[in-house]
Structure 1
Amino acid sequence: MSTEVDFRDPENVEEEEEEEEEEEGGDGTGDEERGSKACSWCHRLHLSVSKWMLPPHARDRYLERANCLPPPIFIILVSIAEISVFIYYAVWKPQKQWITLGDGVWNSPFIYRPDKREEAWRFISYMLVHAGIQHIVGNMFMQLLLGIPLELVHKGLRVGLVYLSGVIAGSLASSIFDPTLGLVGASGGVYALMGGYFMNAVVNFKEMIPLFGIFRIIFIVLVVSIDVGFALWRRFWAPTSGHSVSFVAHIGGGLAGITIGYTVFSSYSASLIKDPRFWVCILAYLACVVFAVLFNIFLSPAQ
């Protein structure tokens, strides 16, 4: 029977054993720490978002199932598309479009024009083109400021439904109430998001911190007042140095927001199909769409 004697220094032995343990389990521990940090960051993000988007009674349930996947891909992709189209017409087209609406955008296949309303895609694609840098900057600011947190809470399908309902409502309302003018910009979709968010802020006002609730409402009212005021000035009083465009999309998108948007954003944890408010809003919306289509076919004064 043989006996092995370890003549290594006890301190060196302990150091070597620690190194071996780190080599065996080091990668897993690092992954766990990184995962923990990522989860902590994601949790803090959703905690902040929930305070902006949800009343207190709904936050705990939201945080239980909140995650950062999928990311707010819809609003990001829409924003990238709108910025890309603006850069295309502002830089690579011969007609510069940085300040106002020029011939490049006016002859674009995306813009809504009353004389080309039989090209039905224009009732949606007009959201991709803008009348100058101040127009797209204002829309992108509000679209990303509200759209990203809304999509984190409600996900892309619901935010896309509200956004596109505002875009279509904006162009159809413009074709009825301002039928001789063209239309550009994402204001219909942006105002649908603002309308839905605003209605939820008003309805849940008593459950929010009073100062916080007042700030949210004042902020939206201030932004809408400035933006609509500028649109009205550009429509009625600005020097006619280019093509005039309608402002009615703001109103149509806002109405879509305070009806469909409010219903969708207030039912984040419930099935929309089982919500009677959703079906009332959808049926009313479809009735307005049918009326607008018939108006454009048979009654529109636009040529």
Structure 2
Amino acid sequence: MGDSISFIIIIITVLVSLLCWQKPTLMDKMTMNPYKINRRNEYWRFISSGFIHADFTHLFFNLFSFFFFGLQLENIFTVLFPEIGQLLFAIFYVTAIVAADLPTFFKQRKNPYFNSLGASGAVSAVIFAGILFFPTEKIYLFGILGIPGFIYAGLFTWYSIAMDRRGRDYVNHSAHLYGGLYGLVFVTLLYPKVWLTFVEQVKAMLW
């Protein structure tokens, strides 16, 4: 447990978020702001924004989801690739932060007022990657309603697209959507056989 990359990510995210709550100027420097990245070449914002959160509730829900799916996925990577599994998981998580925000960057790079922060995009990547391995395991919404993972993925995708088009709240739904997509692509390239077990598990459930 002490050597777990997932726990290291959780600890770093908590500490960095707590520090930024005390130092607003640091929070501003770490926030995902496409305009400043584009005009000032502040590329670190792509990664740093994934380790800061707006408030405790934002932090809790992201890390709560990551705690369960991250540990499970890290273990899978370690089993499949014993020598480099943890390194692959760390690379996956960090690149997921960037990949989830790239569409937002290109869309908002001329908007100086757009800001985004949080690990939601990377967490979505972890969740979708986990669903590929265990598509029929239930994901509980609000801790009450259990939905099989592959159905949850479909509903989540539909919801993210719909909310992104509406654009009436302050949530970066685009990052959630593309983070989830990145999780599917990364695992597919890393371990294509996952789709065989995915189909078998879904078929066994439905038939």
- Does TM-score exceed 0.5, indicating one fold? yes
Greater radius of gyration (CA): 1
Distance 1:246 1:106 in 2: 21
Query: Judging changes above 3 Å, is the alpha-carbon distance between structure 1 residues 219 and 249 closer, same or farther for their aligned structure 2 residues?
Result: closer
Task: Specify the code of the residue in structure 2 equivalent to 1:264.
Answer: L
Which residue does the alignment assign to 2:100?
170
For 1:175 and 1:216, the matched residues in 2 are separated by: 29
Q: Answer whether contact 1:105 1:129 (CA < 8 A) is retained.
A: no
Q: Distance in 2 between matches of 1:132 and 1:228?
A: 22
CA contact (8 A) 2:160 2:177 kept: no
**Cα 1:261–1:187 shift into 2, 3 Å:** farther
Partner of 2:131: 198
**C-alpha contact (below 8 Å) 1:162/1:260 kept by paired residues:** yes
* 2:177 maps to 1:236: no
Q: 2:10 aligns with which of 76, 79, 82?
A: 79
Alpha-carbon distance in 1 for matches of 2:71, 2:91: 15
Structure 2 equivalent of residue 35 of structure 1: none
Distance in 1, Cα, partners of 2:16 & 2:158: 25
CA contact (8 A) 2:52 2:117 kept: yes
Quote how far apart the aligned CAs of 1:89 are: 2.8
Q: Which residue of 1 aligns with 2:81?
A: none
Question: 2:185 corresponds to which residue?
Answer: 259
**Among residues 60, 63, 71, which one is paired with 1:148 in the alignment?**
71
Q: Would the aligned equivalents of 1:191 and 1:250 in 2 still touch at CA under 8 Å?
A: yes
For 2:7 and 2:158, locate their aligned partners in 1 and report how far apart those are by CA, in whole Å: 25
> For residues 227 and 105 of structure 1, what CA distance do their matches in structure 2 show?
34
Query: Residue 247 of structure 1 aligns with which residue?
Result: 173
Question: How many residue pairs were aligned?
Answer: 171
Residues 69 and 127 in structure 2, CA contact (< 8 A), matched pair in contact too: yes
Which runs of 4 or more aligned residues in structure 1 lie more than 4 Å from their structure 2 counterparts after TM superposition? 218-222, 225-229, 265-268
Change (3 A) 1:174 1:200: same
CA shift in 2, pair 1:218/1:252, >3 Å: closer
Q: Letter of the 1:108 partner, please give it.
A: D
1:89 aligns with 2:20: yes
Decide whether aligned partners of structure 1 residues 153 and 199 sit closer, same or farther in structure 2, where only a CA change above 3 A counts.
Answer: closer
Equivalent residues of 1:197, 1:262 under 8 A apart: no
The whole-number CA distance in structure 1 between the counterparts of 2:7 and 2:177 is 24
Counterpart Cα distance in 1 of 2:157 and 2:177: 12
Contact 2:6 2:74 in 1 (8 A): yes
Change (3 A) 1:194 1:266: farther
C-alpha distance in structure 2 between counterparts of 1:227 and 1:148, whole Å: 26
TM-score (norm 1): 0.48
Mapped contact 1:130–1:185 kept (Cα < 8 A): yes
Deviation at 1:78, TM superposition (A): 1.2
Q: C-alpha distance in 1, partners of 2:158/2:118?
A: 16
Q: Against the structure 1 CA distance between its residues 145 and 266, is the aligned structure 2 distance closer, same or farther, given a 3 Å change threshold?
A: farther
In structure 2, C-alpha distance between the alignment counterparts of 1:105 and 1:255, rounded to whole Å: 33
- Whether the aligned pair in 1 keeps the contact of 2:120 and 2:176 (CA below 8 Å) is yes
Change (3 A) 1:160 1:136: same
Q: Alignment RMSD, CA only?
A: 3.3
How far is the alpha carbon of 1:190 from its aligned partner?
Answer: 0.9
Greater relative CO, 1 or 2 (CA 8 Å, sep 6+): 2
The 5-angstrom pairing of residues 39-58 of structure 1 reads none
* SS of equivalent to 1:108: helix
